[in-house]
Structure 1
């Protein structure tokens, strides 16, 4: 039995492939090693994995995760997995490689993630060959859910949000300015907290002009500060994975066109195409 998993900062999508290549899908929370340690991952998986999952029968685990930027961060995840999947060969890689493999397969091109966080790369059909650091949610992550959420929250605490949107926001979340500041600066997983408000931007029908501008400005920053910095970026099609890219794909497609890029695939999740990649390249 083989497990393939795509882990974002908020959610992890899992697929179990049995010996007959039957697929069983399930989800857990996300495990970004910049924000959680091995003990947290073990505890969460013991609660989140299906109770009838035959852990001892799993022989291979391929995990692609947000925040797995180096061996130190990969070890945090792998140390947790070896305690659960005791008979399995475990490989831990970056979620950006998962995105590239899901979007492009064995074809070279440009791939991006727009979910809780942001990432981008050039892929040669096997490996990532060029990556501009997204600088994470405090310094960068332009275009991401956390970037969009931060803009919304900033306007709210500064009193810059239009009154009709402010009333709808408070009716939805019942959050005071002090509570928002406390969640961002003193509680864990602030990136996930900020990103959660991108749903409000997506659902908003009170003042569409206001929230549309937040999304447009976020994607403008994404293309100006990241995408357009890749050499000959216009030679590639724009391919993207992630809930933010998928939910706001109409704005994203317009922005890509403004920057002279044809649009390829825009997917919510890579898991189906990632499983296909592993089956075809076993």
Structure 2
């Protein structure tokens, strides 16, 4: 039995693959090793792992996650080893998950627009060019956290239209002091900010809401996407709930920068299951997402 996982900062999507049985999908909270420890990840998985799954029977875990690169991989690896003690484990960046899910073995450009932002050029096997999004505090233009910050800034400074301000208060009952406390004193402020994209999405017909999203995507293209060499020669492929939710606005902004929007999906897990299935079919046995680490 093998597990494939795709983890953003907010949610992790899992799929259990077992011979001659239907694939089993389930979710846990997201794990970004920049914000959580190995112990926190282990505790969360143990709490949310379906009772029908025996962790000792898992032979391989192929995990793609936000923030998974360099030394941060060890945080996730150690957490997974603590749960799946008999499994071989491979940890890769969620950007590679995005590329494999929408492009498979084809070359192209892919971005993540979810809680955070990321982007790269992919040659069909590996990521060949990546410009750092710089994370929640310094960058992540176009992400849910970035869009949410714009909304909260306008609320805190009384810059939003009065009808939207009243609706925000009726929905959340948050004062500016409450918001500052959540961002500066509590864990996972990126997730807190990104949560307000649901409010924006529910009221996207209001010109103010659409304007926040459009300006956020414009910032993304202006400060990140357009920095790639010959960026307009690629189609804009995208993974993530924010790109998926606001696709009409994304298409408009991409077009203004000369990019055609290609494949846009909400989550990569099903594409990853297909990708690994094709690898297994081609080789006669399951192949890893990357370098497998022995338990």
**TM-score under structure 2 normalisation?**
0.93
Which digits, 9 at most, give the CA deviation of each residue in 1:121-178, with x for residues without a partner? Answer: 0001001011000000110000000000000000011111111001000110111111
Find the aligned partners of 1:24 and 1:92 in 2 and give their Cα distance. 20
- 1:46 corresponds to: 46
Q: RMSD value over aligned CA atoms?
A: 0.9
Secondary structure, aligned partner of 1:46: helix
Q: By how many angstroms is 1:69 displaced?
A: 2.5
- 2:292 corresponds to: none
- 1:10 corresponds to: 10
- Where does structure 1 lack aligned partners over 5 or more consecutive residues? none
Find the aligned partners of 1:281 and 1:22 in 2 and give their Cα distance. 18
User: In structure 1, which of residues 244, 247, 250 is the aligned counterpart of residue 245 of structure 2?
Assistant: 247
Find the aligned partners of 2:181 and 2:45 in 1 and give their Cα distance. 28
Find the aligned partners of 1:69 and 1:144 in 2 and give their Cα distance. 20
Secondary structure, aligned partner of 2:263: strand
Find the aligned partners of 2:121 and 2:56 in 1 and give their Cα distance. 37
Find the aligned partners of 2:218 and 2:64 in 1 and give their Cα distance. 28
- 2:88 corresponds to: 89
User: In structure 2, which of residues 195, 205, 214 is the aligned counterpart of residue 216 of structure 1?
Assistant: 214
Which digits, 9 at most, give the CA deviation of each residue in 1:196-217, with x for residues without a partner? Answer: 0111110116x71101000000
Find the aligned partners of 1:262 and 1:146 in 2 and give their Cα distance. 25
Find the aligned partners of 1:254 and 1:176 in 2 and give their Cα distance. 34
Q: By how many angstroms is 1:57 displaced?
A: 1.2
Higher deviation after alignment, 74-83 or 207-216:
207-216
Secondary structure, aligned partner of 1:119: strand
Secondary structure, aligned partner of 1:64: strand
Q: By how many angstroms is 1:262 displaced?
A: 1.5
Find the aligned partners of 1:182 and 1:122 in 2 and give their Cα distance. 38
Secondary structure, aligned partner of 2:238: strand
Structure-to-structure mapping, 1:184-263, within 5 angstroms: 184-204=183-203, 208-263=206-261
Secondary structure, aligned partner of 1:92: strand
Find the aligned partners of 2:29 and 2:235 in 1 and give their Cα distance. 31
Find the aligned partners of 1:95 and 1:21 in 2 and give their Cα distance. 27
| 1:163 matches 2:162 | yes
Higher deviation after alignment, 154-163 or 27-36:
154-163
Find the aligned partners of 1:170 and 1:271 in 2 and give their Cα distance. 36
- 1:61 corresponds to: 61
Structure-to-structure mapping, 1:77-156, within 5 angstroms: 77-156=76-155
- 2:287 corresponds to: none
Secondary structure, aligned partner of 1:281: helix
Find the aligned partners of 1:261 and 1:161 in 2 and give their Cα distance. 31
Which digits, 9 at most, give the CA deviation of each residue in 1:222-246, with x for residues without a partner? Answer: 1111111100111111100000000
Q: By how many angstroms is 1:21 displaced?
A: 5.7
Secondary structure, aligned partner of 2:277: helix
Find the aligned partners of 2:251 and 2:175 in 1 and give their Cα distance. 35
The list of structure 1 runs, each at least 4 consecutive aligned residues, that deviate by more than 2 angstroms after superposition, is none
Q: By how many angstroms is 1:73 displaced?
A: 0.7
Secondary structure, aligned partner of 2:187: coil
**TM-score under structure 1 normalisation?**
0.98
- Where does structure 2 lack aligned partners over 5 or more consecutive residues? 281-295
Aligned residues: 280
